[in-house]
Amino acid sequence: MKEKKTGLLQGTLDLLVLKALALGPLHGLGVSRRIEQITDGTFKVKPGSLFPALHRMEQSGWLTSVWGESENNRRAKYYRLTKAGQRQLEAATEDWQRIALAIGSALQTT
């Protein structure tokens, strides 16, 4: 049966995927590992959540995909940020930082 990553909102996953692809195109496994890397191992995205996210964002026009060859010479689907995706990344980052600030200050007050 599927398992959803608890505590990881869909919006947050999208943000992490966009960030992971910011530096260059990756295939599915690559995205998953990169997210694990940039969050210091906190978020290990399961394929059951990752692939729907990738496909969804592709449908919305934030990513495009192209078939290519992986490191081990296997056929793999590579995802890349589009211009719209880039803009979405910037906007989402701003939002997140604003929210984080707000919650942070809320938690600090007694």
Partner 1 sequence: MPLLSRLSSLLRNLVQKAKREQELAEEIDAYLEMLIDLKIEEGLNPAEARRLALIELGGREQVKESVRDVRIGHHIETLLQDLRYGLRMLRRNPGFTAISMLTLGLGIGANAAIFSVVYGVLLQPLPYPEDDRLVILMQAYPQKGLNRWGISQANLALYRDHNQVFEKIAAYNSPGFNLTGGHNPERLQGSAVTADFFDVLGVQPRLGRAFRPEEDAPGKNRVCILSYGLWQRRFGGDPQILGQSLVLDNVPCEVVGVMPPGFAYPNRNVELWLPLGLNPQRTFGYTHTGIARLKPGVAVSEAEADTTNIFWNAAQENPVIAGATVPPPMGADMKTIVRPLRDVVIGDTKTPLLVLLGAVGLVLLIACANVANMLVARAAYRTREMALRFALGATPGRVVRQLLTESLLLAVIGGGTGVVLAWFAVRLLPRLPALERVPRIGEVSINPTVLAFIAGLVVLTGVLFGLAPALRSYRLGLETGMREGVRGSASLASSRLNRSLIAAQFALCMVLLVGAGLLLKSFQRLLSTNPGFKSENVLSMRLALPNTKYTNADQSVQFFDSLLERVRGLPGVQSAAVTSLLPFTDGRESDGFVVEGHEPTSGGLAPNAQRRVVSLGYFQTLGVPLLRGRDFLPRDRGYSTRVAIVDETLAHRYWTDGDAIGKRIRYAWSEEWMTIVGVSAGVKNSNLRETIDPHLYYPYTQTQPRQMNLTVRTLGEYTALIASIRSEVLALDGDLPVWGVQPLSDAVDRTLNHQRVTNTLLTAFALLAVLLAAVGIYGVMSLYVSNRANEFGIRLALGARPTVLMRSVLKQGLTLTLAGILAGTAIAAALTQTLAALLFEVSATDPTTFFSVPLLLVLVASLACYIPARRATRVDPLVALRYE
Nearer to partner 1, 24 or 47 (CB): 47
The piece of 16-24, 35-43, 54-62, 91-99 that touches partner 1 (CB under 8 A) is: 54-62
The piece of 13-21, 27-35, 96-104 that touches partner 1 (CB under 8 A) is: 27-35
Token pair, residue 53, equals: 């996210």
**Ramachandran bin of 90, using left for φ above 0, alpha for ψ from -120 to 50, beta for the remaining angles:** alpha
- In this chain, which of 8, 12, 25, 28 binds partner 1, going by CB under 8 A? 28
Cα distances (angstroms) measured from residue 42 to each of 20, 91, 93, 101: 14, 23, 19, 20
Q: Does 76 bind partner 1 (CB under 8 A)?
A: yes
